[in-house]
């Protein structure tokens, strides 16, 4: 018990810090508003879940299946970026250096952060569960409410998923080259790759290929469709908003019947999440200060000469273009944006520009996509810099701060 209490205290403190802010309230509201779109009404020009153009009657079983599938997809991508700040917050605020002096070890700290991430994502899952109940009553196709049929797919499909996402977020924060914005890009492409690979397996994916729980749910939905139409095609399963989707017929999905091995397969993902958290703990530096290799590289003689040359060439131009007060704000934002960039960053940017000019018709989309991705990590600083460095008290008391800075 002496090891449990420090972890519980860490989870409680971290959870209270996250939930006692307006950002968390805004996230809850946005999640519930988004949840209202997951069950389109009659006359809508989109559908969110179709099986060979069949849509289930909006009873509790179908609502639970639809919301579980779509919630798994949404929380697996947006949830990661929501919780991937637990360790970084302790680094920036220097609270981590205080924690490092306490009795909590690296495994306890990592497990506590993973549990805190899980509880935050589980709270969003709970909001979507409540939204599902409300939307069934609002749509009114079935007034018979069966909470167990709605809750079961949430419990077996969504909760194991968010446990893994919570642990992966901690792993990324413990890995030096993944804790920055580069890790955000890596996760996005990893998510796209795994999602495509998972859904390629259709209805016969092994448990390790079905993190989203989609195949687990779709197998039972597909069996219900076959009882209505034996000639239906399992290759026509559509998840997500389909503009102008054609609903051929509606059918009644009577509910889920979970086999013990299916439940066991989903519970295995909790063990996977625990394994990821343990591996992350092995990488935890316990807030030891890293060598300032980046700062030394930036202060090298070559970089200093490069910066001085650029400043000599651009100062007369910037004085003319950004001479006004508003121009000074634009110039300040621009200087902060490119401050410390390596000359090689500009070399790659120039190469991508040349690639766009010389690419043929088939490669144009790839060339433009790469050019958009390259400055993404710079752009991502624009909306968070004041909060990260604690300069809100200097920026926001000025005249029209939001409007002027946003435009700048």
Q: 317-342: per-residue pLDDT in tens?
A: 676 666 677 788 888 888 888 877 77
Domain boundary among 262, 283, 304: 283
Looking at residue 396, its pLDDT comes to 76
Name the range with the highest mean pLDDT among 3-12, 113-122, 378-387.
Answer: 113-122
Residues 108 and 199 in one domain: yes
pLDDT above 90 for 269: yes
Residues 74/90, Cβ–Cβ less than 8 Å: no
pLDDT above 80 for 22: yes
Q: Which domain covers residue 324, as residue numbers? A: 295-407
Residues 151 and 225 in one domain: yes
**Number of structural domains found in the chain:** 2
Lowest mean pLDDT among 93-97, 365-369, 379-383: 379-383
Pick the more confident residue, 76 or 399. 76
Strand partners, 49: 239
Looking at residue 323, its pLDDT comes to 64
Q: What Cα–Cα distance (Å) separates residue 326 from each residue in 220, 329, 404, 407?
A: 60, 5, 8, 9
pLDDT above 90 for 47: no
The first and second tokens of residue 292, run together, are 């300032």
CA distance 257 to 240: 24
Is 289 inside a domain boundary?
A: no
The stretch 350-374 carries a mean pLDDT of: 87
Residues 258 and 117 in one domain: yes
Residues 258 and 279 in one domain: yes
Helix runs in 201-324, H state only = 214-228, 260-283, 293-298, 301-321
Helix runs in 94-179, H state only = 95-99, 106-139, 147-153, 159-174
Is 172 inside a domain boundary?
A: yes
Q: What Cα–Cα distance (Å) separates residue 168 from each residue in 76, 162, 235?
A: 10, 10, 31
Looking at residue 294, its pLDDT comes to 45
Domain boundary among 242, 260, 283: 283
Residues 85 and 226 in one domain: yes
Residues 105 and 251 in one domain: yes
Residues 239 and 338 in one domain: no
Domain boundary among 249, 283, 317: 283
- The bridge status of strand 237-243 relative to strand 46-51 is antiparallel
pLDDT above 90 for 212: yes
Backbone angles phi, psi at 238, to 5 degrees: -115, 125
The first and second tokens of residue 216, run together, are 């687990």
Is 288 inside a domain boundary?
A: no
Q: Would you call 50 helix, strand, or coil by DSSP?
A: strand
Looking at residue 246, its pLDDT comes to 63
- Reported as a pLDDT band with limits 50, 70 and 90, residue 293 is very low
125 burial level (CB within 10 Å; 0-12, 13-18, 19+): buried
CA distance 78 to 219: 26
Looking at residue 3, its pLDDT comes to 77
Residues 387 and 243 in one domain: no
Lowest mean pLDDT among 53-62, 247-256, 348-357: 247-256
CA angle centred on 50, ends 49 and 53, rounded to 5°: 160
CA distance 385 to 119: 27
The stretch 232-244 carries a mean pLDDT of: 67
Is 370 inside a domain boundary?
A: yes
Residues 274 and 312 in one domain: no
The stretch 195-199 carries a mean pLDDT of: 87
Residues 223 and 301 in one domain: no
Is 14 inside a domain boundary?
A: yes
CB atoms within 10 A of CB 7: 19
The stretch 102-109 carries a mean pLDDT of: 90
Is 382 inside a domain boundary?
A: yes
The stretch 335-350 carries a mean pLDDT of: 84
Average pLDDT, the chain: 85
The predicted-structure confidence for 145-188, as pLDDT tens digits, reads as follows 999 999 999 999 999 999 999 999 999 999 998 998 888 889 98
pLDDT above 50 for 13: yes
Percent of the chain with pLDDT over 70: 88
Residues 261 and 128 in one domain: yes
Looking at residue 43, its pLDDT comes to 77
Residues 84/280, Cβ–Cβ less than 8 Å: no
Residues 315 and 273 in one domain: no
Is 89 inside a domain boundary?
A: yes
């Amino acid at each position: 018990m002496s090891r449990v209490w420090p972890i519980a205290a860490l989870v409680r403190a971290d959870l209270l810090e996250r939930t006692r802010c307006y950002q968390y309230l805004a996230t809850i509201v946005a999640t519930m508003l988004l949840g209202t779109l997951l069950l389109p009404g009659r006359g809508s020009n989109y559908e969110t879940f179709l099986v060979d153009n069949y849509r289930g009657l909006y009873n509790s079983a179908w609502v639970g299946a639809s919301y579980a599938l779509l919630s798994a997809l949404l929380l697996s991508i947006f949830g990661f970026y929501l919780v991937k700040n637990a360790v970084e917050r302790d680094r920036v605020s220097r609270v981590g250096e205080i924690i490092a002096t306490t009795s909590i070890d690296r495994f306890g700290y990592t497990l506590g952060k993973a549990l805190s991430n899980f509880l935050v994502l589980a709270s969003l899952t709970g909001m979507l569960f409540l939204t599902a109940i409300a939307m069934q009553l609002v749509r009114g196709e079935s007034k018979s409410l069966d909470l167990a049929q709605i809750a079961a797919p949430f419990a077996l499909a969504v909760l194991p998923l968010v446990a893994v996402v919570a642990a992966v977020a901690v792993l990324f924060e413990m890995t030096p080259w993944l804790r920055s914005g580069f890790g955000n890009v890596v996760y996005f492409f990893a998510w796209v790759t795994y999602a495509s690979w998972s859904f390629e397996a259709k209805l016969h994916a092994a448990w390790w290929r079905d993190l989203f729980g989609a195949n687990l749910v779709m197998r039972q939905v597909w069996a219900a469709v076959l009882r209505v139409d034996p000639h239906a095609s399992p290759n026509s399963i559509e998840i997500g908003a389909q503009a102008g989707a054609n609903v051929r017929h509606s059918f009644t999905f009577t509910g889920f019947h979970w086999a013990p091995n299916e439940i066991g397969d989903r519970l295995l993902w909790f063990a996977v999440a625990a394994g990821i958290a343990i591996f992350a703990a092995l990488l935890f530096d316990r807030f030891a200060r890293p060598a300032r290799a980046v700062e030394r590289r930036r202060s090298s003689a070559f970089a200093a000469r490069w910066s001085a040359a650029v400043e000599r060439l651009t100062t007369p131009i910037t004085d003319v273009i950004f001479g006004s007060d508003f121009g000074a704000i634009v110039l300040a934002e621009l200087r902060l944006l490119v401050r410390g960039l390596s000359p090689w960053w500009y070399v790659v940017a120039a190469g991508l520009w040349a690639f766009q000019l010389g690419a043929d018709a088939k490669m144009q989309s790839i060339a433009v996509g790469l050019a958009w991705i390259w400055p993404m990590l710079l752009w991502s600083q624009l909306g968070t810099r004041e909060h990260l460095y604690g300069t809100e008290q200097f920026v926001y008391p000025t005249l029209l701060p939001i409007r002027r800075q946003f435009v700048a």
